[in-house]
Chains A and B, each alone.
Chain A
Amino acid sequence: EAGVVQSPRYKIIEKKQPVAFWCNPISGHNTLYWYRQNLGQGPELLIRYENEEAVDDSQLPKDRFSAERLKGVDSTLKIQPAELGDSAVYLCASSFRGNTIYFGEGSWLTVV
């Protein structure tokens, strides 16, 4: 069974440029998460979807971050414009009804 798939794995952009990350969750998993992990820190939740509905986005910096999950499957996380402090690993994860959470390999963002 395929795990959580993310792309791109690595991205280097200049500040003020936009960037987007894509996630395909495990088949059948209705809950999808986007986490951000800074170096030396644990992951922090940005947004959680139940099917296509964002049910927990209190930690998402809405001035520059946006996310969508069309049709309740794949999801995209966008940053526009990117800032130096956005350099981090963006982890997508999924679960079935909030049970065990499985992470993807992550998208490593460097803003220069």
Chain B
Amino acid sequence: QKEVEQNSGPLSVPEGAIASLNCTYSDRGSQSFFWYRQYSGKSPELIMSIYSNGDKEDGRFTAQLNKASQYVSLLIRDSQPSDSATYLCAVTPRGGSTLGRLYFGRGTQLTVWP
């Protein structure tokens, strides 16, 4: 069983603050890590991917990966009301028959209030 755990929230931050979203995974062999954003009633949209330990920045988004701790996080700087959505953490396993399969957490609901 490959589990991906996220706090379901809701997480509420004021506009302009930093939102911090966390995710842990059980399969130590997991290779690829993704953050998807899902607006209510819409499909998941990829916003960040990370494959090696450390930080990866893209605009206001920073993904952080610590494979030793089996932990991945997403920081959103200067949060905007338009960032209000559910954020899904997803991982892919080491390989074999499950190569290419994404395992998702249940998502963290983020609300950014003006």
List chain A positions with a Cβ less than 8 A from chain B. 31, 33, 40-45, 48, 55-56, 58, 91, 95, 98, 100-106
Contacts and interface: CB of A to CB of B under 8 A. Distances in A.
B82 interface: no
Contacts of B105: 42
B42 interface: yes
A37 to B, nearest CB: 8
B interface: dominant SS = loop
A31 B102 CA distance: 13
A44 B104 contact: yes
Nearest to B96: A56
Tell me which of B4, B46, B101 has the highest count of chain A C-beta atoms within 10 A of its own C-beta.
B101
A87 to B, nearest CB: 15
Given A40-B106, A42-B106, A101 B46 contact: yes
B42 A105 contact: yes
A104 B46 CA distance: 12
Contact of A42 (B49, B90, B98): B90
Interface residues of B, number: 20
A93 to B, nearest CB: 8
Nearest to A89: B43
Contacts of A95: 100
A100 B49 contact: yes
Contacts of A58: 97
B101 A42 contact: no
Given A40-B8, A40-B106, A100-B49, A45 B44 contact: no
A105 B101 CA distance: 19
A33 B90 CA distance: 15
Tell me which of B102, B104, B107 has the highest count of chain A C-beta atoms within 10 A of its own C-beta.
B102
23 contacts: A40-B107, A41-B106, A41-B107, A42-B90, A42-B106, A43-B44, A43-B102, A43-B104, A44-B104, A45-B101, A48-B100, A48-B101, A56-B98, A56-B101, A58-B97, A100-B46, A100-B49, A101-B46, A101-B102, A102-B46, A103-B43, A103-B44, A106-B43
